[in-house]
Structure 1
Amino acid sequence: MKALCWEGVDKLDVQRVPDPQIVNDQDAIVKVTLSTTCGSDLHLINGFVPTMRPGDVMGHEFMGEIVEAGPGVRHRRVGDRVVVCSFIGCGRCWYCTHDQWSLCDNSNPNWELAQEVFGFELGGVYAYSHALGGFKGSHAEYIRVPFADYGTFLVPDDVDDLDALFASDAAPTGWMGADLGGVQPGDVVAVWGAGGVGQMAARAAELLGAEQVIVIDRLPERLAMTERHTGAETIDFSTTDVDAELRERTGGRGPDVCIEAVGMEAVGGNGQHAAEKIRRRLGRPQERPIALRQAIHACRKGGSVFILGVFGGSVDRFPLGAVMNKGMTVRGAQQHGHRYIPMLLERIAAGELSTSHLATHEFSLEGAPKGYQMFKNKQDGCVRAVFRPHG
């Protein structure tokens, strides 16, 4: 079959790879209908995530049709139209039974490698390095889905494929940030990042009762899309002092909840982005917690910050003194999608949540390298590039 493969830093190529096979009796094979880019993929492409190998198939956000199921699959059958959570959960370990699915004890066969890289075991995730399981990704014609009874979710008849697609990762990740960030009715919420996850976090905060939601970014087309589809206010960080602007809009106090949806490659001023390009050329990429620092400083005393953007290791200049002295709560997680996807599909079906607007560009699988180039460089207003492996 055809698949989009990682071949090194900044190198993607569509290749022929072996068809997936049933390996364990709880596996299913899914024919991929739609798959999409994600901001965390850029950390792979840019060389920030270790243990990638040439030939690894990319992609973790997808939906499709079950075409084969192992003998241990009880609740899914061939022909089911499903969306698949990007993280893999066994459904039985302590973490899965406590709705902390991305921390699954049993889904990562390379747990020792994860422990070596991160210092702890983490659950498996499609196409996100060998430290997180070495699973083949979704930018392919077919994909093997372990623990299919738990990781696949039936798409309601009145939810179309494109809306269902973003229930795989962007929507549950954003919703988790608002939920575990502690958004309460009447809160003021600030979200850093107007990409797919940031927009979903903003909409989740509104649906959870926030009185005011403010999204911070620098790209005018993303800010305009956010205003149009979520109703949130926006701030262009390239034209103003974000901390001062947030204080002015919140009566001098600051937001109650701050959600960081950017991650380790945040862009800031003062030549930081140019300096990072030099470090990358020297083979020494460095994580940039610029947005996270800003969120901590901007948040009101006693408020909470939730980290949705992906970080891989240690970061410098973390404002721990601000966290402690302001009495703040700081949380973070990879997405516990199984916890939210059924509810999100119901909200999409009811018209409460729209996601399809995130798909600004569509390509065949052969066009995936171009799609990633547009997505990475934010060309032509690209928020998400979507791939149709079967035309």
Structure 2
Amino acid sequence: MKAVCWTGRNSVEVQEVPDPSLLNSRDAIVKVTSTAICGSDLHLLDGYVPTMQNGDVMGHEFMGEVVETGPGIGDDGPRVGDRVVVPFPIACGACAACRAELYSCCENSNPNAGIAERFFGHPTAGIYGYSHLTGGFAGGQAEYARVVFADVNALRIESDLTDEQVLFLSDVLPTGYMAADLCDIQEGEIVAVWGAGAVGQFAMDCARALGAEKVVAIDKEPYRLEMAAAQGYDTVDFEEVDVRSALLELTGGRGPDKCIDAVGMEATHGAAHVRVYDRPSAGRSRARRRCRPCPGVRP
């Protein structure tokens, strides 16, 4: 089959690779009908995440049709012909983390959990197409993919919704929702979202669904800001205006109640963690102060 393979830093190729096969009794083989490229894939491409190997199949956002299942999948699991969305973290469904619904911390799905713990400071679940730190599982930017613990991880789609309407259940929508959920948004609050890409758009929608009265999108790309504006959100182009001043103006001088960073990782190492800003001070109108850098972040 054909698959998108990592071939070195800043290099990917479509290559012919072996078809996947059932390795465990709870596996399933899925014929991929839709897949997506995540912003996190850029971290693999540019070398920020180690342990990638030449020929690794990329992609952790995919869905498709089940074409083969292992004998260990129970009656409630997927069947041949089912249409499924596959979430990116792999969960066994039985460990303490999974029983607590902390699926991204599954204790059984990542054979390289010890390596991940040394690198990240904590172990992670296995993840499709995301380096050998997360298990070295082949990803879904391919014609076929092996889905591990398919009776737990393959979400059956029993409707006529299109791929474009449900594919984002694999990663982007849950990511945006979690960002908003972690904010503990209360009715009537104002939420500012840095980054109006796919995750940012979903974070805005989820913030509104969770009770936000006003949502502000902050970005520089016109098409992203236009998309946010079309959904009724206020927008700020950070290349055109001072973000802090714009937020104060949009919030009656109070500032947003909650803030979401929907960009992440190396893109925000500098200004998001160490910046100079104005603050009112007794005896003078404005005082300059520098934030102390977060641990491990260089100014």
Do Structure 1 and Structure 2 share a fold, with TM-score over 0.5?
A: yes
Residue 103 of structure 1 aligns with an amino acid whose one-letter code is: C
Q: Name 1:109's counterpart in structure 2.
A: 111
Q: Separation in 1 of the partners of 2:251 and 2:42?
A: 34
Q: CA 1:208–1:292 in structure 2 vs 1: closer, same or farther (change >3 Å)?
A: farther
Deviation at 1:113, TM superposition (A): 1.3
In structure 1, stretches of 5+ residues that fail to align are: 268-287, 299-312, 318-391
Residue 271 of structure 2 aligns with an amino acid whose one-letter code is: I
Q: Separation in 2 of the partners of 1:215 and 1:183?
A: 16
Q: TM-score, normalised by structure 1?
A: 0.69
Give secondary structure in 1 for the equivalent of 2:32.
strand
Q: Separation in 2 of the partners of 1:160 and 1:141?
A: 19
Deviation at 1:314, TM superposition (A): 4.1
Q: Separation in 2 of the partners of 1:194 and 1:22?
A: 39
Aligned residue runs from structure 1 range 165-314, under 5 A: 165-228=167-230, 230-266=231-267, 288-291=269-272, 314=296
Q: What per-residue deviation string (whole Å, max 9, x for no partner) do you get for residues 139-194 of structure 1?
A: 10100111111111111313111111111111111011111221122111111111
Q: Name 1:91's counterpart in structure 2.
A: 93
Deviation at 1:244, TM superposition (A): 1.9
Deviation at 1:253, TM superposition (A): 2.2
Q: Separation in 1 of the partners of 2:67 and 2:271?
A: 44
Q: Name 1:70's counterpart in structure 2.
A: 70
Aligned alpha-carbon RMSD (Å): 1.8
Give secondary structure in 1 for the equivalent of 2:170.
coil
Indicate the structure (1 or 2) with the bigger Cα radius of gyration.
Answer: 2
Give secondary structure in 1 for the equivalent of 2:248.
helix
Residue 196 of structure 2 aligns with an amino acid whose one-letter code is: A
The one of 315, 321, 325 aligned to 2:297:
315
Deviation at 1:251, TM superposition (A): 2.2
Q: Name 2:129's counterpart in structure 1.
A: 127
Q: Separation in 2 of the partners of 1:169 and 1:33?
A: 16
Q: Separation in 1 of the partners of 2:212 and 2:274?
A: 23
Q: What per-residue deviation string (whole Å, max 9, x for no partner) do you get for residues 115-158 of structure 1?
A: 22222211111111101111101110100111111111111313
Deviation at 1:232, TM superposition (A): 1.4
CA contact (8 A) 2:273 2:297 kept: no
Q: Name 1:31's counterpart in structure 2.
A: 31
Q: Separation in 2 of the partners of 1:193 and 1:259?
A: 9
Q: Name 1:141's counterpart in structure 2.
A: 143
Q: TM-score, normalised by structure 2?
A: 0.89
In structure 2, stretches of 5+ residues that fail to align are: 279-294
Residue 54 of structure 1 aligns with an amino acid whose one-letter code is: N
Q: CA 1:33–1:314 in structure 2 vs 1: closer, same or farther (change >3 Å)?
A: farther
Q: Name 1:5's counterpart in structure 2.
A: 5
Q: Name 2:283's counterpart in structure 1.
A: none
Q: Name 2:22's counterpart in structure 1.
A: 22
Deviation at 1:293, TM superposition (A): 5.8
Q: Separation in 2 of the partners of 1:21 and 1:289?
A: 44
Q: Separation in 1 of the partners of 2:274 and 2:57?
A: 33
Deviation at 1:231, TM superposition (A): 2.1
Residue 254 of structure 2 aligns with an amino acid whose one-letter code is: R
User: Which structure has greater helix proportion?
Assistant: 1
CA contact (8 A) 1:260 1:292 kept: no
The one of 73, 77, 80 aligned to 2:82:
80
Between stretches 78-87 and 147-156, larger displacement belongs to 147-156
Q: CA 1:60–1:292 in structure 2 vs 1: closer, same or farther (change >3 Å)?
A: farther
Residue 161 of structure 2 aligns with an amino acid whose one-letter code is: V
Residue 142 of structure 2 aligns with an amino acid whose one-letter code is: A
CA contact (8 A) 1:262 1:291 kept: no
Deviation at 1:316, TM superposition (A): 2.9
Q: Separation in 2 of the partners of 1:96 and 1:244?
A: 44
Q: Separation in 2 of the partners of 1:133 and 1:231?
A: 41
Q: Name 2:58's counterpart in structure 1.
A: 58
Residue 15 of structure 1 aligns with an amino acid whose one-letter code is: Q
CA contact (8 A) 2:191 2:258 kept: yes
Q: Which has the higher contact order (CA 8 A, sep 6+)?
A: 1
Deviation at 1:86, TM superposition (A): 0.9
Q: CA 1:163–1:260 in structure 2 vs 1: closer, same or farther (change >3 Å)?
A: same
Deviation at 1:20, TM superposition (A): 0.8
Q: Name 1:337's counterpart in structure 2.
A: none
Residue 100 of structure 2 aligns with an amino acid whose one-letter code is: H
Q: What per-residue deviation string (whole Å, max 9, x for no partner) do you get for residues 340-373 of structure 1?
A: xxxxxxxxxxxxxxxxxxxxxxxxxxxxxxxxxx
Q: What per-residue deviation string (whole Å, max 9, x for no partner) do you get for residues 192-243 of structure 1?
A: 1111000000001111111000111111111111222x32111111111112
Q: CA 1:106–1:289 in structure 2 vs 1: closer, same or farther (change >3 Å)?
A: farther
